[in-house]
Chains A and B, each alone.
Chain A
């Protein structure tokens, strides 16, 4: 095979104070291929892509685009070289339509110097048609689904004549169906001669869509392989540097007494719209109940209602025989209900505070950590350091601010705190979001351990793989209702995808 090279990043080294983000990285992408770039958080993927896209400059190394050495010191240069990037966080104006967003900054002008809306619309629709995108030119982004927003982002790069597209974790926010659509789009792009770099940590998707894959770990390239010659297990061990158990090891659940019974629960969201519409469920001691579903189908509001952060409009939440639907978060916590929230940085942590101050959030008031309102800092220190050890929080000292930790370690602070006070019921919402494979494994093990020790766990996650692997019983949430209860061993992913999209049997 003699393929032309679209991108060659040669011996790239980039260091930040105290960290080497990229160390002699050699990254080569052929023209017209789908190239996956995988690695854990902090492996150096983002830094490498930032260097390619002109956001960061390498300390050493060379960038060759189509065989010609280039210096990309700003994003404009990258765009002019035909490189387009779709970030994980979309950069769209919510009140603008797709064509308005796409043309923003490069609006075609008519003879009087005004924006040529018609020309813009036509240009956008032409590109959309060429690549088989469905776009409604009148739809504002605020009303568009995540999938549509993402396609708009891709169109934006195409409108700017991108030949090389970098997609940063594009499937993180999509349903299985939307993911399939995205993959079709990517295949069309490649058929039309584009080159796609696909950043992800979902190895199953790599195997499905990519031609070749580069694995990074700790700033270095661990291996480049053709997907047909490798396997998920091999890629995973390259990523983590040791063997990883992708399956969660657990015994059959032995559920005992009922702990929580939710009866006809209705909850409004922040905008005053009904988000939870009559949910019924129960959780027993010694089992993990999962809630699957595409984000935004009422899971967040359900969890907030259960934890007292949002008032239920109607219905009962009976916990150990007592209705806690109108209890405060404080009273709910004192009843030994732990909560790992979906929003780590603003809710689960105060990143301005130190690690120990975050770790004692649910225990600071009890002896021996404090007595008569005064801390026993020695005991606090022992407690914090024990949690740091038990939950493998990687930090030189618990006095450091939480904001100096990586995302995975921040999440470990939350998990450590929440599981530390021996909860009867643990409500975990997106507990492994933004956490890398090695730590995901640890968090899953801890949840299973809670279960085996006689606790009850409610696991809410948009990661279908996670819910299916960890939970003993799974409810699928769609538009505020649990539309289906399944045994995860008895259904497959595509079936679940249909339930998540609201299709009933």
Chain B
């Protein structure tokens, strides 16, 4: 992938600026006070330990879903189904959280996470196999599986895994399976550190190992180009790369769900709603398909999201405005033609070569 260049930063900053102006207009037009909204947005995102902790909590699953998505993209598979993996990962991590007793804290948490990741990975096995052996577009099959996942977990919470006679929910996980919440009045938990670790690990594997090179040899762009003739020509089995990439992607999606249940919700219930799998696609692109970029973009998105809750609570502006703004921002950041267009200005070129000097 392209590393971040000066152009990209310029476009992102300009995008932020224009987004702010549009937001200003939108908020004024709906009869609200933009500076008040800005104040609460800032306070909700960054002011005080609790808000910062909550922002980091919001970022936790996003780091993982974005990493999961970008891994599949870079393998050449267009996986849209991370949300599905997240659901099933959450369900089964929660199940393991109450089903296995008499375990120590670390072994129980590890077991729950491994089960969540395995189920999340298996969820992606079918679309991977269908793609490789039957030519079924992974875009279509993973989108469909997102719906299947919602219905499946809803059935399980209602039927086989139901513990609560009143509400369709599983039993609460045991204390040994809990990821610890560190700050009072915040759902921020140690899962955040797992997420950051996984993203950094992904960065290392993708960019610094031959395994990562083999995975990427068939893709590495915003377009799914599996099956890649380049890989098979080099003698790298592109089928295996495609399947492996999808399984890793699904496992990380399952991990995102597992951390939500083990660290924040502590049980699985029918109405539990995830959309971080979809946000992860946008954040993955915002972070230029690099895990480190995904961490940064997730932290930003998490803060804005938490600020959005604050705005919603304190003013008449609905928090959906945040989604509108983020979407506008992504339009700008992914506008490659604008980025390319900047090349004609000598100053941009100069800055670009200045910042890229230390590369190979």
> Which chain A residues have a beta carbon within 8 Å of chain B's beta carbons?
17-18, 307-309, 328-334, 339, 341, 343, 346-350, 352-353, 356-357, 360-362, 364-365, 370, 373-375, 377, 380-381, 384-385, 396-399, 401
Contact = CB atoms under 8 A, between A and B. Distances in A.
Contact of A375 (B208, B220, B233, B356): B208
Contact of A329 (B216, B233, B340, B349): B233
B105 interface: no
B219 interface: yes
A224 B66 CA distance: 58
Given A308-B235, A331-B235, A375-B208, 14 more contacts: A17-B341, A18-B343, A328-B235, A339-B233, A352-B219, A353-B216, A353-B217, A361-B217, A373-B211, A374-B210, A375-B213, A377-B208, A384-B360, A399-B3
Given A346-B229, A401-B2, A361 B234 contact: yes
B356 A350 contact: no
A347 B228 CA distance: 8
Contacts of B233: 307, 309, 329, 339, 341, 347-348
Nearest to B359: A399
A429 B209 CA distance: 31
A397 B359 contact: yes
A308 B235 CA distance: 9
Nearest to A328: B235
B61 interface: no
Given A328-B235, A330-B236, A347 B229 contact: yes
Contacts of A370: 209-210
A18 B349 contact: yes
Most chain A C-beta atoms within 10 Å of own C-beta, residue among B2, B235, B236, B359: B235
A17 B343 contact: yes
B327 interface: no
B267 to A, nearest CB: 40
23 contacts: A17-B340, A18-B343, A18-B344, A307-B233, A308-B235, A309-B233, A329-B233, A330-B235, A347-B229, A347-B230, A348-B230, A350-B230, A352-B219, A353-B217, A357-B216, A361-B230, A361-B234, A362-B234, A364-B210, A370-B210, A375-B208, A397-B360, A398-B360
B44 interface: no
Nearest to B222: A352
A352 B344 contact: no
A125 to B, nearest CB: 42
Given A347-B229, A350-B220, A365 B341 contact: no
B235 A357 contact: no
Interface in B312-360: 340-341, 343-344, 349, 353, 356, 359-360
B228 A350 contact: yes
B258 to A, nearest CB: 27
Contacts of A349: 230
A56 to B, nearest CB: 15
Contacts of A347: 229-230, 233
Contacts of B236: 330
Interface of B: 1-3, 208-211, 213, 216-221, 225, 228-237, 340-341, 343-344, 349, 353, 356, 359-360
A346 B213 contact: no
A399 B235 contact: no
Contacts of A352: 1, 219-221, 225
A341 B232 CA distance: 12
Contacts of B356: 397, 399
A364 B234 CA distance: 11
A399 B356 CA distance: 9
A307 B232 CA distance: 11
A375 B216 CA distance: 14
Given A18-B344, A361-B234, A373 B210 contact: yes
A363 to B, nearest CB: 10
A364 B341 CA distance: 35
Contacts of A341: 233
B235 A329 contact: yes
Contacts of B360: 356, 377, 380-381, 384-385, 397-399
Most chain A C-beta atoms within 10 Å of own C-beta, residue among B211, B213, B237, B359: B213
Contacts of B220: 350, 352-353
Nearest to B218: A350
Contacts of B230: 346-350, 361
A356 B211 CA distance: 16
A459 B162 CA distance: 69
A343 B229 contact: yes
A428 B349 CA distance: 38
Nearest to A347: B229
Contacts of A308: 235
B344 A333 contact: no
A377 B213 CA distance: 12
A437 B113 CA distance: 60
Contacts of B231: 350
A374 B208 contact: yes
B204 to A, nearest CB: 9
Contacts of B209: 370, 373-375
A353 B216 CA distance: 8
A399 B1 CA distance: 10
Contacts of B2: 401
B292 to A, nearest CB: 16
A28 B303 CA distance: 63
B222 to A, nearest CB: 9
A375 B218 CA distance: 18
B8 to A, nearest CB: 14
A25 B3 CA distance: 37
Nearest to B360: A381
A352 B74 CA distance: 10
B208 A364 contact: no
B56 to A, nearest CB: 31
A362 B236 CA distance: 10
Question: What are the 10 tightest A-B residue pairs by CB atom distance, in nearest-first order?
Answer: A330-B235, A352-B221, A17-B344, A381-B360, A399-B359, A17-B343, A350-B230, A347-B229, A329-B235, A352-B220
A17 B230 CA distance: 30
Nearest to B342: A17
Contacts of A309: 232-233
A308 B216 CA distance: 22
Most chain A C-beta atoms within 10 Å of own C-beta, residue among B219, B220, B231, B233: B233
A343 B233 CA distance: 11
Contacts of A374: 208-210
Contacts of A399: 3, 356, 359-360
A298 B211 CA distance: 35
Nearest to A307: B233
A374 B211 CA distance: 8
A133 to B, nearest CB: 37
Contacts of B340: 17
A373 B349 CA distance: 36
A117 to B, nearest CB: 37
A349 B228 CA distance: 10
A332 B233 CA distance: 11
Most chain B C-beta atoms within 10 Å of own C-beta, residue among A341, A352, A361, A362: A352
Contacts of A361: 217, 230, 234
